[in-house]
Structure 1
Amino acid sequence: MKEIPEIKLKTNPDTEEAKKAVGYQWNDEAGTRHKLGGKPDGLNIEDYPNCKDCGERMTFYAQIDSIGDKYDLADCCAIHVFVCFDCFTTESQLNQI
């Protein structure tokens, strides 16, 4: 299992419609926790999946946070994406952070 250095991502909506979709009225942090690499918020390494092809523990690749009130993922959850760098198998999970 590799560890990728953490790279924070910032939203940059291009249209007025997209700008209105980003953010929460009641929570300033939710919707800002997008990143590549590092460690997934809210998960321990024991929670990482094993590759379905080779059985090895997968590498955390990305965290995609909820967008905002209109497109909320199950009460501010995030999508965690994992990859096996040997098989290039991927898996994603929806988790509370």
Structure 2
Amino acid sequence: MKEIPEIILVPVPETDEAKTAIGYQWNDEAGTRHKPGGRPNGLSIEEYPNCKDCEERMSFYAQIDSIGDDYDLADCCAIHVFVCFDCFTTESQLNQI
């Protein structure tokens, strides 16, 4: 399992429609937790999936946060993406963070 350095991503909406899509009326943190690398918010290493091909523990690759009120993922959840660097198998999960 490789650990990738954390890189915080900041949304930069380029259209008026995109500007109105991001953010939450009642939550200032959700929608700001996008990142490749580091560790996923809300999960321990023991909860990382094992590769379906080689059965080794997968590496955390990225976290994609909910976008905003109109595009919310199950009450401000995030998508966690995992990869096996040996098999290049990927898996994603929707998790509460």
State the distance in 1 between where 2:7 and 2:66 align. Answer: 18
Q: How many residues align?
A: 97
| TM-score (ref. length: structure 1) | 0.99
Structure 1 spans left out of the alignment, 5+ residues: none
Structure 2 spans left out of the alignment, 5+ residues: none
1:43-88 per-position Cα deviation (integer Å, ceiling 9, x unaligned):
0011100000000000000000000000000000000000000000
1:5-57 per-position Cα deviation (integer Å, ceiling 9, x unaligned):
00000000100000000000101000000000000000001110000000000
Matches within 5 A, 1:1-80: 1-80=1-80
| TM-score (ref. length: structure 2) | 0.99
Determine what percentage of the aligned residue pairs are the same residue: 84
Segments of 4+ moved more than 4 angstroms: none
Pairwise CA RMSD of aligned residues? 0.3
